[in-house]
Amino acid sequence: MITRDLLLDILKNIAAVIKDNRQFLTDLDAAIGDGDHGINMNKGFKAVEEKLDTVRDKDCGTILKTTAMTLISTVGGASGPLYGTAFLKAAMVVNGKMEIDNEDIVKMFDEGIQGIIMRGKAKRGEKTMLDALIPAYEELMNSLKDGSTIAEAFNKACKAAYDGVEYTKTIRATKGRASYLGDRSIGHQDPGATSSYLIIKTVADTLNR
C-alpha cells in the first residue's frame, strides 16, 4: 500500500536521484546518443518537484497526471514523451484514489509499459528503457504472487532492472538514436534503461526506509 504522502516522497526522491545522476546519464548518452539524457531528465524532474506543491492535497491520479504532463512539457527528446506517457497511463489506474494498493501497482506498471510500447513502438531486446522496465515488472508481479511485501518485491524488481541494464551492454540498439551506431552500440549500456533502473531503485529505497 502506497499512501499519497509516500507517493509524493517517492517522486521527490526520484527528482533527487536523477539530479545526482545528471552527468552520469548524460555521459552514457554521449557515448551512443546525443549526450542530453541526464540534462533532459533532470530538467523534467526538477519541474515535477516544483509542480508537486500545487497538487499535494489532490488524489494520487492527479499527482501522477501532473507529473506526466510536466514531464511531457519539459523533458523533450525521446524520453519525454515515453516517460510522460508511462506516468499518464499509470495515473489513469489510480484516478481519484488517495492510496495505491498492490494490485494497482502491478496494473500501473503494466499500463505504463504498454504506454511506452504504444508510443515508441519498441519491444524488449532493442536496447531501450524497456529492457530494464519489463524484467522489473515481471519480477515485481511474480514476487507479489509469491507473497512478498511491496518493499521486498521492489527490491527484486530493482535487481532485475539492474540486470536488464547490464544486458543492454551486450546487445545492439535497433530503436532510438543509438540504433544509428549499428554494432558500435554494443558494449555500452543504454541511458534510458539506466534512468529506468534508477527510478525503480528509488521507489524500492523509499519503500524500504
If one asks whether residue 192 binds ligand ADP (CB under 6 A), the answer comes out as yes
The CA distances from residue 31 to 42, 109, 178, in Å, are 19, 29, 9
If one asks whether residue 198 binds ligand ADP (CB under 6 A), the answer comes out as no
* Cα angle, residue 27 at apex, residues 203 and 190 outer, rounded to 5°: 60
Task: Print the binding letters for residues 134-173 with other proteins: x by CB under 8 A, - otherwise.
Answer: --------------------------------------x-
Which residues in 73-178 belong to E strands, given as ranges?
99-100
Site size for other proteins, by CB under 8 A? 33
Task: Print the binding letters for residues 50-79 with ligand ADP: x by CB under 6 A, - otherwise.
Answer: ---------------------------xxx
Alpha-carbon distance of 68 to 169, in angstroms, equals: 29
Site size for Mg ion, by CB under 5 A? 6
Which does residue 26 bind out of Mg ion, other proteins, ligand ADP, none, counting CB within 5 to 8 angstroms by kind?
other proteins
Cβ-based neighbours of 199, under 8 Å, separated by 6 or more: 14, 17, 18
Cβ-count burial of 172 within 10 angstroms (0-12 exposed, 13-18 middle, 19+ buried)? middle
If one asks whether residue 82 binds ligand ADP (CB under 6 A), the answer comes out as yes
Which chain residues interact with ligand ADP by CB under 6 A?
A: 29, 33-34, 36-37, 40, 77-79, 82, 116, 120-122, 128-130, 175-177, 190-193
